[in-house]
Amino acid sequence: MAESWHGNYDTGSPSDDSHKFERLHIEPIYDAFFCPLTKQVMRDPVTLENGQTFEREAIEKWFRECKESGRKLVCPLTLKELKRGDLKPSIALRNTIEEWNARNEAAQLDMARKSLNLSSSESEVLLALKFVQQICQKTRSNKHVARNAGLIPMIVDMLKSSSRKVRCKALETLKTVVEDDSDNKEILADGDIVRTIVKFLSHEQSKEREEAVSLLYELSKSEALCEKIGSINGAILILVGMTSSKSDNILTVENADKTLENLEKYENNVRQMAENGRLQPLLTQIREGPPETQLSMSNFLGELVLDNDVKVLVAKSVGSALINIMRSGDMQSREAALKALNQISSCEASAKVLIEAGILPSLVKDLFFVGTNQPMRLKEVAATILANVVSTDYDFDSILVGPDQQTLVSEDIVHNLLHLISNTGPAIESKLLQVLVGLTSSPSTILSVVAAIKSSGAIISLVQFIEAPQKELRVASIKLLQNLSPHVGQELADALRGTVGQLGSLIKVISENISITEEQAAAISVLAELPERDLGLARQMLDDGAFELVHSKIVKIRQGGSRGGRFVTPFLEGLVRVLARVTLVLADEQGAVSLCRELNLAALFIELLQSNGLENVQMSSAAALENLSQESKNLTRLPELPTPGFCASVFSCFSKPPAINGLCRLHRGTCSLRESFCLLEGHAVEKLVALLDHTNEKVVEAALAALSTLLDDGVDIEQGVMVLCEAEGVKPILDVLLEKRTENLRRRAVWVVERLLRSDEIAYEVSGDPNVSTALVDAFQHGDYRTRQIAERALKHVDRLPNFSGVFPNA
């Protein structure tokens, strides 16, 4: 029975190889030291009432099994029944065994010590390490023995072994030696030992990496070593990387994570973690740390470079805490909080989080507060944050920011911003201008801001910033004027004309021969939005050579000589709009006619009609061609007829008009594209007809307006109709009428169709199309007064209305 029980009893005893050192005794081992049940040297011997001695754990298990099976308590050796199950500690025997163990273990450690060198074989070193590990696992005092024996430095030396197995075992043994032993950990804190351990972390997917991070986790339980580990270059970076590793096993990842948690005790480690993407410890310190820690961590957060996604997470985590510090902290704390808020507000999504956390009232208060405890550098940061925040598409008209129910776009708030802009330095001025840029970029707030700017009379002051030497300030002012120009065009034109040099400064920005910038695109947009028929402005631009510059820029872009990425298209659109402006003053300014001839602008605008994908360019070009074509009848050189002879002057039957070849059939004179801007001579008609099928109704309207000049009073309308027929333009024009896309298009189409129907042949063909008649009837019934008049004439051409002119003779 005893033998059977012994066979099932598992003491976890190691293999024979691992006990090589245990079998080397300095004195013989006595039979009394062995437990009869386990056959192992006893650690806690106890004696039964019959004098037999056993290992406490083994005999307790024996008694438990007797009770569970319903047997009487018997001695495992004698099998005789015991009266009691009392166990009496054999103190003398235990002391004797401990003394024997101590003497033998000292000798065994000495042998292991001799094996722990790089010249020993791999197997000897592995056995020695295994023995040290096992002996240190037995009792805490053995760890002291190992330390006193100088084994720790020797184990560290084994990390230099060429054997991967030895290095792994050395790391594993070191963990056992230092576990729950601060004195042994202190030894590893000396020199470069920790650095050597950290190096093993870079061994991807290896046993060494697993053992190294396990050892570092144990070492990180010591505060002194936390600082040491964090000071090693790359240690925290690698550990942070391991926590998100998909290749390491779960235990390794957990150990890396727990190591970092221990390292959080030191602020410098927390900073390193944040730099390497582990932000939560830093954010926790800002939320929950003492004031001095909040200060240092907020400062550090303001210096970090964060991705936009991270900024959103940071704003959600500490946005409210930073805003509270900004409201109620001392000067240093407020500055640190503003610095951090500036960093995380530069992304639209995170800025919205801060708005919802209530940042706006505090920012406005900081900006407008006057006092010695509000230095200008804090106002500059507050202005920067506000500029970041207002660049979002939030409804700022609904957020109260002042004590009297004001919003950011309330008149007095805008006036205060304008006052600050006029009374601060360039750095804060540029940020405040950016605030106004943001507020005027939203359709929901621009009208309120425009009204406040008009009531303050600030246009002239804002225009002056165009000449600022600081580029950031100049760009912000031009972008603001770009947003304002559709609403204050005349005021802006008056300011540019009335102030010496500022129109020139705007043109100078456009003239810079660099890659096309946002500043240039904004500057040309400002010019394009100014009142088109402002003759004084056009004359000044002619005098300043602005149109020649714009022309050269357009040509350069078309030749592929300009770079600028996303700003090329808005820049080109603005250039074409500005150049088209010169065609509006042809009748009043001879210099404009000369310029159009010199630069052959009609040919350029015809080329630009084919700028597929650039609708605004096509629309502006068609509008310019309309203006040029309207002047053709005035610029055409009419032929000089010879003086009739005597007979012809007396008898008209002898008078016959001379035949003159080469005259324009439309304008009845000598035409050319360059000199008289004739669309027929420039082969522009087909290109304009092609645009009548455009998806953008404004392009269609501009093209139709240009084509209508072929049928205008002062030209040969019959020939104009023929030109449109030859260009296959009649059907597209009728289609425009039938589609009724906009009221402006219908009005223009009715006018052109009425002119076409003056041709009996076209009138006859159209009279059989009920759709056209229906469209004309609809215009006659629902159009404005002028459109109804023209539609009435058109209906008479197709006999849908009676013509009473022959019934009632003129009085």
What pLDDT does 806 receive? 45
DSSP character string of 668-705: SSB--HHHH--TTTTT-HHHHHHGGG-SSHHHHHHHHH
Q: Are 38 and 56 in contact (CB under 8 A)?
A: no
Residues of the chain short of pLDDT 70, as ranges, are 1-27, 205, 370-374, 499-501, 564, 640-661, 804-811
Give the Cα separation of 386 and 366 in Å (integer): 11
CB burial of residue 475 (10 Å; 0-12, 13-18, 19+): buried
- Region of residue 799 (left: phi > 0; alpha: psi -120 to 50; beta: else): left
User: Pairing between strand 53-55 and 88-89?
Assistant: unpaired
What pLDDT does 101 receive? 80
Read off the pLDDT of residues 348-393 as tens digits, 9 standing for 90 and up. Answer: 999 999 999 999 999 998 888 765 556 788 899 999 999 999 999 8
What pLDDT does 109 receive? 80
Residue 55: which H helix or E strand, with range? Answer: strand 53-55
* pTM as predicted: 0.75
What pLDDT does 15 receive? 46
What pLDDT does 112 receive? 83
What pLDDT does 500 receive? 64
- Region of residue 70 (left: phi > 0; alpha: psi -120 to 50; beta: else): left
What pLDDT does 185 receive? 93
Give the Cα separation of 794 and 777 in Å (integer): 9
What pLDDT does 741 receive? 82
What value, to the nearest 5°, has the Cα angle with vertex 587 and ends 581 and 593?
Answer: 65
What pLDDT does 809 receive? 46
What pLDDT does 24 receive? 53
Phi, psi (5° rounding) for residue 700?
-60, -45
